[in-house]
Structure 1
Amino acid sequence: MKTKTILIPTDFSVKSLNIVKSALSINDDCELEILLVHGIYLPDSMTDLLLFSKKKLLQDLETAEFRASCQMIASKYESRLLELSLDIFSGYNQSAFENYLEANQIDEIYAPTDHAFKPRHKNSFDMMPFIHRSTTNLVKVKRMEVGENFRQERNELSGLFFSELSSL
C-alpha cells in the first residue's frame, strides 16, 4: 500500500479535524502520515527564547476535547493512519515554508475552502498565504460542522470502552 504524508493547518478546534477525516476518505487506498500544523511566531526576546518549549506550547494549545478527538480518529483509522502528529511552523517567509515542507517530506496539503483564521495564541499567524503560494499539491476540502455523525462515533467509542470495562 502506498504511503503519503499530508499537512493540514489546524486551529486546534475539533471542527478542524473534519479535514483529517476527509483526507482519510479521499485516500482510501493509501496509508497516511498526517501532520497537523499551526503557525506561531517565536518569541523575540532572548529570555523567552531560552525558556521556549515547543512541547509545552503544543500542550497549552490543545484542548481536552481536541486531544480526545485526535485519539478517537487514530483508533478508528489505525490500519491506515500511520501517524497523526502536531507541530508548529514558525517561519517568516515562503522559502522557510517550502523548506519545512521538504524537511517533513510533505506530499500534499489539505486545507479548508471556508477558511476563517482564528488565532489560538497571541503569536498565532495565518498559514494560508504560504499554503496558497506553495508548489506542493493543495487539496481544498469543505469543512463541515461537527454534528450528529461525530457525536455518534464518539458515543460508539465510549460504548466500546465502557462495555469492555463492565465485563471485567
Structure 2
Amino acid sequence: MLIQTKHFGEIDLDESKIITFDQGIMGFEEYKQYTILYDIEDSEKPTISWLQSIEEPGLALPVINPFIVKPDYNPVVEDELLKPLGGINEDNLVLLLTVTVPTDITKMSVNLKAPFIINGDTRKGCQAIVENQDYEIKYKVYDIIQKSKGREKVKC
C-alpha cells in the first residue's frame, strides 16, 4: 500500500509493517495506525527511527530503543494495560521512547515515563505511563548517543 510520510515522501508499505494502537498515542488519540521508518541508505540500523502515522502524513515522532540510552531501563507497567497487546515475552517485545530534538541538539532528551510498548507478533501497541518514580520525562541523551555512535554525528 502506498502511504505519504513526513520525512520520506511516498513509500510502498507492506501491510504487515502496520502497528495498531487501539487507544492511539498521547496527544494523537484519533490516529491508530503507525509504522516504524528509518533511513535504509545507512549500512547499519540508525539510532533514531520514526513512528510514522499511516493516517496523518504530517505525524511522525522520532523514537529510540531505550537500551541505547539507558541500558538498565526496566519500566513497570500495569498488566491490565498490556493485555490487549496479546502475550508479550522478551522475543516479541519492542520498546521505544519518544525523542525530543530542540534547536540546540545538545539538549536532546527522551521521555522515560511514557514508552511505546509493542508486541511484534500481533503488531499491537500502546503508550503507557510507567510507575517508576525515578524515570524522567526529559532525560538528557545527547552525550550518551554520541558515545554509543563512536563519536559520530547523530543522524535525525
Q: TM-score, normalised by structure 2?
A: 0.26
Structure with more contact order per residue of length (Cα contacts < 8 Å, sep ≥ 6):
1
More helix by share: 1
TM-score, length-normalised on structure 1? 0.24
Bigger-Rg structure (1/2): 1
> More strand by proportion, 1 or 2?
2
